[in-house]
Structure 1
Amino acid sequence: MIHYDPHKWLDHFFDLRGSLVKEIGLRVLVCVVWAAAVVSFHKFVRPVDIPSILHSLVGVALGLLLVFRTNASYDRYWEGRKLWGGIVNETRNLIRASAVHLHEEPRLLQKLARWTALFPWATMNCLRDEFDLGSLGAELTAEEVSGIRASQHQALHVSARMSELLAEMRSRGLVSDIVYTSLDQNVQLLVDYLGGCERIRKTPLPFAYIVHLRRALVIYCFTLPFALVDTFGWMSLLDVLLISYTFFGIEEIGVEIEGPFGDDANDLPMRDICETIHKNLYALAGMRRQEREAMPEGL
């Protein structure tokens, strides 16, 4: 994710990173070259202009399609951010509540904090098809790391370890059944948020809608010079440049944000969120740096 000040226009007005200019540049260039060919043919061979009323009417419908496309994509982006906000909240609640009951069992609390901090990393790995445990990977034994890597579902494997620790707390009489149920509810909600993220990732927008929108967009932009050439002449090139840049840009924004869990410039900063959760949970568990370094490996 790119962090910027929305009040300062000139700071990012000419930025290329994250602006999608590279993604749509070739499409826009092809439209402009095609427009130049149409204008040349119109002026030096024979007139090929058509009435502009058709493009005026179709442009309205195309604009509505693009608005719906962008809104649907942003809904997915914002829902993804809310789901990750839920992961932040529930991990904090789990360790905050556990710390009250495990103040005399700091090792068990720290172990729970470690596996809870691993959950967002494992979730990110499932959404990105990668394996990255951040700095937490160095605190696990080789067996624990290989267990996570070899598991059928990394996040579920980590959540199972969290549930085992909660069950140990109950079996040792450290928490009552009511408290255990409350803490386990936090783990259940984490798995629910994981499922919500997977739903977004594995359910793209309907294929028929995307295909129809793109066909209409290409036909509109490539027939636009015929509607403009008689009125604007060579200025049609500038008109086609601006219109195709706007329309292709809006469509590409939808593509960019409909899958918010990647590693692109406009995707959610999941790695930063994972690091924030890591620091928060370790602070709640009283795991200062010197304490973590003194802990046996793989605790």
Structure 2
Amino acid sequence: MKVYNPKDWLYPIKYLLSAEHTKKIFPLIIGLGLFSWSIAYLELEYLKLSDKSWVKNITTVHSLLGFVLSLILVFRTNTAYDRWWEARKQWGTLTNVSRTLSIKLNAFLEREDKINRSFYRKAIPLFAETLYNFLRSEYTKFMLDEADHPEIISLDDKKHGPNQVASLLFNKTNSLYREGKLSGEQLRLLNEEITSMTNVCGACERIKNTPIPIAYSSFIKVFIIIYTLTLPIGYVFSMGYFVCFAVPFIFYILITIEMIGESIEEPFGTDSDDLPIDRMADNIKKHCREMLLP
């Protein structure tokens, strides 16, 4: 995720002009400008249509459709941002739950119980790490040299990483309860935190595996293209050859809004607008290890 100063007006403008999506649509903008010029030349110089021609009334249709298009784009952007913000809230919840679980275990476990404290110090951040790898469609590499914790070494790289780690955490907690090192009330409190971690995993999977319906996304793109291609037909009578600049600018605004929605609707990727879940996982590891020091 790109970190910037929102009070700096020059940097956002520079970033937007040099962004990847701007480079992708630049040839389309040039082509649309040439297309608008050809329409203007055809109507003004070749067909010699006057401003009393019925073609001028096409602008009325564009005025009506422009309002509809703006509503659709607003809904599209809001939907994409809701997905992005929901993902951020879920990872914020995971951070808080990991800290709370570490704080409770730090209070419940004896200082002399270095083996169990060491296990949780490594296993709790491992859940965030496996979730991070899972959301980015990468196999979790359990490259751990844990002579004291063979259960961690036994984790399978090819299986659902977060589920394995959550199961490992609950099994260990339940074993401590059976050994008398945790009370029933303490077991219940810890179980709530572990359950919250699996709930976060489920919510993130829902966001990742449920994209915006392709019919909706495709319709917006087709709508924008048809809308902008027909703009110079009617507006050439009031704007003349200036449509060569006005129409590409309108297209740039509309298509950029759509592409921003595409960029943020998948928040777990590696684009500049995606969530820095790798840094969040590192912070969870740092904080958990600080709290569970023997």
TM-score, scaled relative to structure 2: 0.89
- The answer for the alignment partner of 2:4 in structure 1 is 4
Paired letter, 2:291: L
Aligned in 2, Cα 1:98/1:144: closer, same or farther, shift over 3 Å?
closer
In the alignment, the residues of structure 1 paired with residue 137 and residue 31 of structure 2 have an alpha-carbon distance, to the nearest angstrom, of 35
Aligned in 2, Cα 1:257/1:163: closer, same or farther, shift over 3 Å?
same
In the alignment, the residues of structure 1 paired with residue 236 and residue 24 of structure 2 have an alpha-carbon distance, to the nearest angstrom, of 27
> What are the residue-to-residue correspondences of 1:269-288 with 2, within 5 Å?
269-286=276-293
* Residue 233 (structure 1) shift: 1.7
- The answer for the alignment partner of 2:120 in structure 1 is 112
> What are the residue-to-residue correspondences of 1:1-299 with 2, within 5 Å?
1-15=1-15, 16=17, 18=19, 20-47=21-48, 49-51=55-57, 52-102=59-109, 103-131=111-139, 137=143, 139=145, 144=152, 147-151=155-159, 153-286=160-293
Between 234-243 and 138-147, report the one with greater CA deviation.
138-147
Tell me the SS of whatever aligns to 1:276: helix
Q: Map Cα deviations across residues 187-238 of structure 1 (whole Å, 9 max, x no partner).
A: 1111001100111111122333222222211110111111221211221111
* Residue 38 (structure 1) shift: 1.6
Residues paired across the two proteins, number:
284
- The answer for the alignment partner of 2:52 in structure 1 is none
Between 227-236 and 63-72, report the one with greater CA deviation.
227-236
Q: Is the 8 A contact 2:83 2:207 kept in 1?
A: yes
The percentage of aligned residue pairs carrying the same residue is 29
Paired letter, 1:123: L
Q: Is the 8 A contact 1:18 1:265 kept in 2?
A: no
RMSD (Å) for aligned C-alpha atoms: 2.2
Q: Map Cα deviations across residues 255-285 of structure 1 (whole Å, 9 max, x no partner).
A: 1111111111100000010011010001011
Q: Map Cα deviations across residues 101-142 of structure 1 (whole Å, 9 max, x no partner).
A: 112312211211211101111111221111356xx8455579
Aligned in 2, Cα 1:18/1:145: closer, same or farther, shift over 3 Å?
farther
Paired letter, 2:41: S
Aligned in 2, Cα 1:100/1:146: closer, same or farther, shift over 3 Å?
closer
Q: Is the 8 A contact 1:17 1:265 kept in 2?
A: no
Aligned in 2, Cα 1:265/1:159: closer, same or farther, shift over 3 Å?
same
Aligned in 2, Cα 1:45/1:146: closer, same or farther, shift over 3 Å?
farther
In the alignment, the residues of structure 2 paired with residue 17 and residue 242 of structure 1 have an alpha-carbon distance, to the nearest angstrom, of 16
In the alignment, the residues of structure 1 paired with residue 107 and residue 221 of structure 2 have an alpha-carbon distance, to the nearest angstrom, of 56
Q: Is the 8 A contact 2:121 2:288 kept in 1?
A: yes
In the alignment, the residues of structure 2 paired with residue 229 and residue 282 of structure 1 have an alpha-carbon distance, to the nearest angstrom, of 67
Q: Is the 8 A contact 2:131 2:201 kept in 1?
A: yes
In the alignment, the residues of structure 2 paired with residue 181 and residue 121 of structure 1 have an alpha-carbon distance, to the nearest angstrom, of 25
Q: Is the 8 A contact 1:35 1:236 kept in 2?
A: yes
Aligned in 2, Cα 1:4/1:19: closer, same or farther, shift over 3 Å?
farther
Aligned in 2, Cα 1:47/1:207: closer, same or farther, shift over 3 Å?
farther
Unpaired runs of at least 5, structure 2: 50-54
In the alignment, the residues of structure 2 paired with residue 201 and residue 50 of structure 1 have an alpha-carbon distance, to the nearest angstrom, of 47
In the alignment, the residues of structure 2 paired with residue 138 and residue 33 of structure 1 have an alpha-carbon distance, to the nearest angstrom, of 60
Paired letter, 1:256: S
Paired letter, 1:284: M
Paired letter, 2:11: D
Tell me the SS of whatever aligns to 1:266: coil
Q: Is the 8 A contact 2:144 2:152 kept in 1?
A: no
Tell me the SS of whatever aligns to 2:157: helix
In the alignment, the residues of structure 1 paired with residue 168 and residue 271 of structure 2 have an alpha-carbon distance, to the nearest angstrom, of 31
Between 76-85 and 22-31, report the one with greater CA deviation.
22-31
Q: Is the 8 A contact 1:80 1:197 kept in 2?
A: yes
